[in-house]
Chains A and B, each alone.
Chain A
C-alpha cells in the first residue's frame, strides 16, 4: 500500500514481514538513490561489525560489480563474503518484483560461509520508488543525502515512508547546499510516523554510530546474541 492520507493525516499499515527460519542470518536491505552513500555506509558497517559476527554483503548493481569491487578493493570483507547480482539493467525489479537472483546468491553465500549472522543486501542506486520485497530482506534501511535537496523526505515514496530506518546522510554538506536539516527531520517524522530517522555524516563519524546502534538492536531482536 503506497503512503496515503486520511483527513490530512498520514495513515500507516503494518507491512508484511518474512518469516525467518531458526538459524537463518538476518537480512538487512540498504536502498536509496544513486550517490546517497549506500556503499560507503555498508563499508562502514562491515568495518564496525566484522570482528564480532559473521557477515556477508550482496550488491545489486546497474553495472554488475562496481559496488562489490569497491568493497573488495577496500578490503572491508574477504572476497568470499561479497557477492554481486546482475540485474539486467533493472535493479528495482531484482529487489522487488523478481527476487530470484538475489535469493540464489544468498543461498550461495550461506553455503560458502559458515554460520552467517547477517547479510547486508545493497540495492542498485535507484529512485525514490524502489523498495525491497519482504521475501528478500527482514528489515530495510533507506539512505538519502542532504545534497539531494531538503525536499526529499517531503516527497516521500515507499523508501522514505516505509523503510525501517531512514538515513539522511552527508549532514556536513548542509551549509554548502543550503539544506535545512530541521526541515528534513520534521518532514521525515511527518510521513514516517513512529519509524526512526537518523541524520549522519560519514565524514564526521566514519563509524556510522547511529546506524550501527540500530543494526545492533535489529540483531538483538532477531536473536543474534554475540553482539
Chain B
C-alpha cells in the first residue's frame, strides 16, 4: 500500500527547492532584537512558532487539502496575518512552492481542488504558503494530516536552521532541539487537521514587520 511516506519526507526536506532557505520565519529579527540568543531562547521561540504560526498555517493547508477553495483560504489567511510584511513573506514562499509544484505535477486538474479550471490557474502565482501547501498536499496524494505534519515540521526547521546560521550554534544542539520538539509538532499537526485555527501571533507579526524595515538583513523574512 502506498502510504505516501516518501512523498511526505520529500516535501518536508529542507533541500526541496522552493526558496524556503531565504526565509528565517522571524528568527533573524528575533536575534537582532536580542530575543533569541542561545539554544534555550531558541527553544522558547520554536515552541511558540509551532503552536501559533505552525498551527494556523497547517490548519488552513488542511482545509484546502480537504476541499476549501483557494480564494476563501487566501482571505482566511490574510485575516490571521495582519502584518503586511508577514503576508508578503507567506506569499513569497507560496510562490516558490507553486513554482516547483507546477514542474512536478504539470497536469494536475481542477478536480484536485474545489473550483473550475486547471488547478495552478486557480491557485494563482502568489498564493499564501498555507494555500499552496494544501493544494500540493492534495495533488501529491498525501492525507490531510500528513500535509499538516510537513507544514508544522518545516515551520520549525526553517527557523531552527536560520538560527543555527545566525548564531553559529552547535548543529547537534539544534538537531537535538528539533527531536525534542517532535512530539509538539505531531500534536500540533493533529490539532490542525481538525479545523481552521482562529488565532494569530502578534509577536511574529511585529517581528516580520520590523525585519522589513531593517537595513541589510540576510534573510528575506
Contact present for A93 and B21 (CB under 8 Å): yes
A86-103 interface code vs B (CB 8 A; 1 in, 0 out): 111110011001111101
Do A65 and B18 touch (CB < 8 A)?
Answer: no
B residues less than 8 Å from A63 (CB atoms): 216, 218
A-B contact count (CB 8 A): 61
A98 and B17 within 8 A (CB): yes
Is A147 an interface residue, CB under 8 A from the partner? no
Say whether A64 faces chain B, with CB atoms less than 8 Å apart: yes
Q: Contact check, B217 vs A86: say whether CB atoms are below 8 A apart.
A: yes
Q: Are B18 and A88 in contact (CB under 8 A)?
A: no
A104 interfacial contact with B, CB 8 Å: yes
Residues in chain A within 8 A of chain B (CB atoms): 62-66, 85-90, 93-94, 97-101, 103-104
Q: Which of B44-52, B56-64, B92-100, B148-156 contacts A (4 or more CB under 8 A)?
A: B92-100
- In contact, A97 and B15 (Cβ under 8 angstroms): yes
Q: Which residues of B contact A85 (CB under 8 A)?
A: 22
Q: Cβ of B53 < 8 Å from any Cβ of A?
A: no
- Seen from chain B, the residues whose Cβ lies within 8 Å of a Cβ on chain A are 15-24, 92, 95-96, 99-100, 162, 165-166, 216-220
How far does the Cβ of A39 sit from chain B's closest Cβ, in whole Å?
Answer: 16
**Contact among B16, B17, B20, B217 with A99 in the assembled complex (CB-CB below 8 Å):** B17
Residue of A64, A66, A93, A94 touching B217 (CB-CB under 8 A): A64
A88 touches B21 (CB 8 A): yes
Q: Could you tell me if B218 and A101 are in contact, using CB atoms closer than 8 angstroms?
A: no
The answer on a CB contact under 8 Å between B96 and A100 is: yes
- List, in ascending order, chain B residues with CB within 8 A of A64's CB: 216-218
Name the one of A87, A90, A93, A100 contacting B100, with C-beta atoms under 8 angstroms.
Answer: A100
Minimum CB–CB distance for B200 against chain A, Å: 24
Least CB distance from A172 to B in Å reads: 31
Asked if residues A86 and B219 are in contact (CB atoms below 8 Å), the reply is yes
The interface residues of chain A lying within 8 Å CB-to-CB of B18 are 98, 100
Residue of A nearest to B217 (CB): A64
Query: CA A100 – CA B20 in complex, angstroms?
Result: 9
Bound state CA distance, A63 and B219, in angstroms?
9
CA A97 – CA B22 in complex, angstroms?
A: 12
Q: A98-B17, A98-B21, A100-B18 are in contact. Are A86 and B218 (CB under 8 A)?
A: yes
B216 touches A100 (CB 8 A): no
A65 touches B19 (CB 8 A): no
The 6 A-B pairs of least Cβ separation, nearest first, read A100-B19, A98-B17, A86-B220, A100-B96, A88-B22, A89-B218
> Which of A88, A90, A103 interacts with B23 by CB under 8 Å?
A88
**A63 to B165 Cα, complex, angstroms:** 14
Of chain B, the residue at the smallest CB distance from A87 is B22
Nearest neighbor of B95 in chain A, beta-carbon distance:
A104
Given contacts A104-B92, A104-B99, whether A88 and B218 have CB atoms under 8 Å apart is yes
Residue of B nearest to A90 (CB): B21
Least Cβ distance of A121 to chain B in Å? Answer: 15
Chain B contacts of A89 at CB under 8 A? 165-166, 218-219
Q: Which of B95, B216, B220 contacts A88 (CB 8 A)?
A: B220
User: Contacts of A98 on B, CB cut-off 8 Å?
Assistant: 15-21
Q: Which residue of the partner chain B has the closest CB to A133? A: B17
11 A-B residue contacts at CB 8 Å? A63-B216, A64-B216, A86-B218, A86-B219, A87-B22, A88-B24, A90-B165, A93-B21, A99-B17, A100-B19, A101-B220
